[in-house]
């Protein structure tokens, strides 16, 4: 038991020192000892092991006003590479992140997701191609995280249900690991995007941040103190599948009248096709701008339900801030402004002014950044050098 406790403490201290160097580098050994409250000997021993592993490097900087050079520590940028992947209905986005959180290369591909096996093979080829292009070896890759819409059992890497892809009980982690030979994790895309938004754009006032995604589906995610709230089974935040009308439209999840059937793009286009066939949400917006009443009614209804969604998330989570994301928000300014305006009359009076409401700052890169960040967090947490 004593040996186990010592090993655990050693691992914790290594992770603590590495995270400090990543966050505050360049930093001296003395400052590391001071901030971690370790003895100078213990801090130097851990720094030595991190240097030996190649995760950090030394630089000499002149002490201001003295002229003598002092040794400081920085992370080695390319010692650890994390791969983030976003899987959407018609696009796949792959990004490689270095150890200091920079997306060093990314690619977007038009790809209609259907068969899981073909999708895994396609993404695996793209990852291998980028590795060769950048000259990265397999041992530099800490892992790959795939973000996609749906109910994900993260521990198993199981896609329990993705209504957008019509996938059920797909062991995606196992499939990817067999194909790539890399460590792979699977997660819900909005949770990853929320994590990235929280970390990249921190605010002292945002201890509890809720993100709401409005686009191909409808979802929410809560980040508290830098950690994603997952609930039992990683299913928290699936507000799009809350039933608002049991006699409503059929949802791919098997229920009727789910919230997303009143907001998600596919359902808006299906509703529009009853009057006129439109191939995109932009076409629907253009019809509304022309003064077509049927188009305006469809969008007004979606805007109202979006504002109701925001109100419900605030009432349930009571966050410090709410961040809006998704294609309805990021790609359609007219709809975004309507939703923000509708919130002024839709939000429950007692909670008005209790939270900040804004739109995503990361935009299209959010999921890939969050996916790569999650790999890096796991690497640091499980560090053994």
What are the DSSP E strand ranges found in 100-256? 103-110, 141-148, 151-153, 158-162, 167-171, 184-188, 208-214, 218-224, 227-229
pLDDT band of residue 228 (cuts 50, 70, 90) is very high
3-state secondary structure 193-215: HHHHHHHHCCCCCCCEEEEEEEC
pLDDT at 105 over 80: yes
Contact 325, 211 (CB under 8 A): yes
pTM: 0.90
Bond from prior residue into 77 cis (ω within 30 degrees of 0)? no
Alpha helices in 260-361 (DSSP H): 265-272, 281-289, 293-317, 327-330, 333-346
Between 204 and 382, the higher pLDDT residue: 382
Q: What is the CA radius of gyration of the chain?
A: 23
Domains in the chain and their CATH numbers? 2-75 (1.10.10.10), 81-192+366-381 (3.30.420.40), 203-360 (3.30.420.40)
For residue range 333-379, what is the model confidence (pLDDT) as tens digits?
999 999 999 998 889 999 898 999 999 999 889 999 999 999 999 99
pLDDT at 3 over 70: no
Which letter, b or e, does each residue of 230-265 get, where b requires 16 or more Cβ atoms within 10 Å of its Cβ? beeebebbbbbbeeeeeeeeebbbeeebbbbbbbbb
Rounded distance, CA 103 to CA 81, Å?
A: 10
Phi and psi, residue 147, nearest 5°: -105, 130
Structure tokens at 328: 């309805």
Rounded distance, CA 141 to CA 158, Å?
A: 22
pLDDT at 108 over 70: yes
pLDDT at 10 over 90: no
pLDDT of 9: 78
pLDDT band of residue 1 (cuts 50, 70, 90) is very low
pLDDT of 175: 97
For residue range 20-74, what is the model confidence (pLDDT) as tens digits?
999 988 999 999 999 999 898 998 999 999 999 999 999 887 665 555 677 899 9
pLDDT at 210 over 50: yes
Rounded distance, CA 125 to CA 179, Å?
A: 9
pLDDT at 88 over 50: yes
Average pLDDT of the chain is: 91
Rounded distance, CA 343 to CA 324, Å?
A: 12
* % of the chain with per-residue pLDDT over 70: 96
pLDDT of 71: 87
| Burial classification of residue 289, based on how many CB atoms lie within 10 Å of its CB (0-12 exposed, 13-18 middle, 19 or more buried) | exposed
Contact 263, 281 (CB under 8 A): no
Structure tokens at 350: 């007692």
pLDDT of 65: 55
* % of the chain with per-residue pLDDT over 90: 74
């Amino acid at each position: 038991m004593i040996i186990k406790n010592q090993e655990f403490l050693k691992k914790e201290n290594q992770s603590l020192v590495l995270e400090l160097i990543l966050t505050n580098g360049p930093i001296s050994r003395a400052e590391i000892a001071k901030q971690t409250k370790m003895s100078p000997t213990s801090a130097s021993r851990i720094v030595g092991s991190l240097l030996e592993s190649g995760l950090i490097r030394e630089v000499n900087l002149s002490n201001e006003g003295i002229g003598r050079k002092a040794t400081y520590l920085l992370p080695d940028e390319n010692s650890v590479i994390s791969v983030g992947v976003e899987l959407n209905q018609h696009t796949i986005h792959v990004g490689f992140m270095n150890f200091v959180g920079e997306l060093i290369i990314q690619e977007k591909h038009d790809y209609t997701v259907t068969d899981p096996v073909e999708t895994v093979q396609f993404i695996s080829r793209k990852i291998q191609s980028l590795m060769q292009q950048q000259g990265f070896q397999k041992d530099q890759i800490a892992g790959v995280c795939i973000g996609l819409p749906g109910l994900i059992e993260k521990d198993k890497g199981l896609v329990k249900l993705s209504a957008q892809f019509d996938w059920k009980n797909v062991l995606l982690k196992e499939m990817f690991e067999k194909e790539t030979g890399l460590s792979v994790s699977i997660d819900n895309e909005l949770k990853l995007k929320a994590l990235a938004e929280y970390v990249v754009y921190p605010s002292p006032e945002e201890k509890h941040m809720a993100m709401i995604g409005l686009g191909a589906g409808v979802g929410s995610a809560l980040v508290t103190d830098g950690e994603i709230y997952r609930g039992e089974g990683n299913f928290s935040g699936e507000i799009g599948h809350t039933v608002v009308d049991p006699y409503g439209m059929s949802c791919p999840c098997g229920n009727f009248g789910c919230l997303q059937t009143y907001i998600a793009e596919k359902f808006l286009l299906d509703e529009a096709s009853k009057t006129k066939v439109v191939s995109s949400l932009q076409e629907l917006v253009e019809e509304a701008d022309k003064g077509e009443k049927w188009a305006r009614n469809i969008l007004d209804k979606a805007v109202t339900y979006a504002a109701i969604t925001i109100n419900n998330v605030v009432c349930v989570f009571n966050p410090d801030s709410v961040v809006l994301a998704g294609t309805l928000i990021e790609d359609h300014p007219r709809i975004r402004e309507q939703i923000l305006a509708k919130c002024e009359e839709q939000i429950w009076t007692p909670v008005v002014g209790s939270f900040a409401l804004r739109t995503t700052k990361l935009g299209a890169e959010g999921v890939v950044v969050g996916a790569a960040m999650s790999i890096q967090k796991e690497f640091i947490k499980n560090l053994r050098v």
